[in-house]
């Protein structure tokens, strides 16, 4: 498919509301699909990516291809979206692939791994660094084709009831965190806990857990975690750029006219870009609001970051040694990360650090 050519044409036609011409639309079938989201409507930025996606698909096909979005739990539980698409319960889904870490840790490369790629770097890897080809080959084994579906940017490191000053303070800390991050932090003595989003606040309030990670200022403020866990740490090194994905069942994908396939490609990419823009626009205001409410913003101490990096590297190397699918993506991904960080350190990072210090200095 000449995807990039279609995107250019779509950009011209989007303002008119449709890319498929009326004459062509008459010859194309009317199709109705269901999309299962992993997310509640209260996470409006993440859940909203699916709304953006389905609206654009309809517009790009002259109203002939319509997809209805169902929030997590309405058709299947949020953590079973991949299974629902694979089984054909729904034609498509919107999820975070690291939710399926338990099936195979390789899924995490489609979303985020510890000390991984930033939002822009992940998009570059997917678009230009072989990520699309590698992840789609992996997803093919599950009867699914994956598309970029949004990114949160670098997330926060979570809410803590007490201050964390060293690695020693992590020992015995019960934290709501899972997947790769939980496996890594377990090696530092932390006790990972699996909790649904709605159960986090009461668990923190009662002291059942000592800490919890969620997303970032915009989403976290709405949950009120600051009322029961005043220390807000950064960065969330396990999610340098958490990328979300749209899933389409391969059998359903292959039935679609090429015009509808192209519409999915274009609409998913637009939803991907819009989500990141929304988070970048909303998080600064939310963070300022949280600080006014007395939140104690803290950076993870260097020894915690260094110990976490070492443990993360060990965990990933061990997984690569026993999991051929993981290793096939990990090795080229690791080289891409190295090259990206070298480039980022030259121009953008130095410029950004200068601006940050200047703005904070009130100049």
Q: Residue 328: CB partners within 8 Å, gap ≥ 6?
A: 134
Q: Residue 39: CB partners within 8 Å, gap ≥ 6?
A: 46, 47, 71, 72, 78, 94
Partners of residue 69 on adjacent β-strands: 35
Cα-to-chain-centroid distance, residue 223: 19
Compute how many other C-beta atoms are within 10 angstroms of the C-beta atom of residue 193: 20
Q: Is 214 annotated as a binding residue?
A: yes
Q: Is 360 annotated as a binding residue?
A: no
Query: Distance (Å, rounded) from C-alpha 119 to C-alpha 110?
Result: 12
Query: Distance (Å, rounded) from C-alpha 107 to C-alpha 123?
Result: 16
The radius of gyration computed from the CA coordinates of the chain, to the nearest angstrom, equals 21
Q: Is 186 annotated as a binding residue?
A: no
Instruction: Indicate the pairing of strand 211-212 with strand 158-160.
Output: antiparallel
Compute how many other C-beta atoms are within 10 angstroms of the C-beta atom of residue 274: 17
> Could you give the C-alpha distances from 117 to 70, 196, 315, 352, in angstroms and in order?
30, 26, 17, 17
Q: Residue 315: CB partners within 8 Å, gap ≥ 6?
A: 114, 180, 183, 184, 187
Q: Is 239 annotated as a binding residue?
A: yes
Q: Is 276 annotated as a binding residue?
A: no
Q: Which residues are annotated as a binding site?
A: 155, 176, 213-214, 239
Q: Which residues are annotated as a binding site for substrate?
A: 155, 176, 213, 239
Q: Which residues are annotated as a binding site for Na(+)?
A: 214
């Amino acid at each position: 498919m000449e995807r990039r050519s279609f995107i250019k044409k779509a950009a011209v036609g989007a303002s008119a509301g449709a890319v498929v011409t009326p004459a062509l639309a008459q010859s194309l079938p009317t199709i109705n699909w269901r999309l299962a989201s992993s997310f509640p409507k209260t996470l409006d930025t993440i859940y909203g990516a699916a709304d953006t996606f389905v609206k654009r698909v309809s517009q790009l096909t002259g109203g002939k291809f319509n997809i209805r979005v169902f929030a997590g739990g309405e058709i299947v539980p949020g953590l079973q979206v991949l299974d629902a698409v694979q089984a054909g319960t729904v034609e498509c889904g919107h999820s975070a692939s690291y939710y399926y870490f338990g099936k195979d840790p390789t899924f995490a490369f489609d979303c985020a791994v510890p000390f991984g790629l930033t939002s822009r770097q992940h998009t570059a890897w997917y678009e230009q660094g072989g990520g699309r080809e590698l992840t789609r080959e992996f997803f093919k084994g599950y009867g699914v084709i994956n598309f970029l579906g949004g990114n949160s940017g670098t997330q926060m490191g979570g809410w803590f009831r007490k201050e964390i000053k060293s690695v020693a303070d992590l020992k015995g800390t019960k934290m709501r965190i899972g997947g790769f991050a939980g496996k890594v932090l377990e090696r530092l003595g932390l006790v990972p806990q699996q909790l649904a989003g709605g159960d986090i606040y009461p668990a923190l309030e009662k002291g059942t857990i000592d800490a919890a990670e969620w997303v970032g200022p915009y989403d976290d403020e709405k949950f009120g975690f600051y009322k029961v866990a005043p220390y807000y740490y950064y960065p969330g090194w396990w999610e340098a750029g958490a990328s979300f994905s749209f899933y389409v069942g391969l059998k359903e994908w292959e039935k679609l006219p090429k015009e509808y396939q192209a519409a999915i490609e274009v609409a998913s990419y637009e939803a991907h870009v819009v989500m990141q823009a929304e988070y970048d626009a909303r998080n600064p205001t939310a963070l300022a609001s949280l600080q006014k409410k007395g939140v104690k913003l803290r950076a993870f101490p260097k020894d915690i970051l260094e110990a976490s990096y070492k443990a993360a590297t060990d965990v990933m190397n061990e997984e690569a040694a026993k999991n051929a699918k993981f290793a096939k993506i990990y090795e080229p991904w690791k080289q891409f990360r190295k090259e990206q960080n070298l480039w980022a350190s030259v121009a953008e990072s130095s410029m950004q650090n200068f601006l940050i210090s200047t703005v904070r200095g009130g100049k």
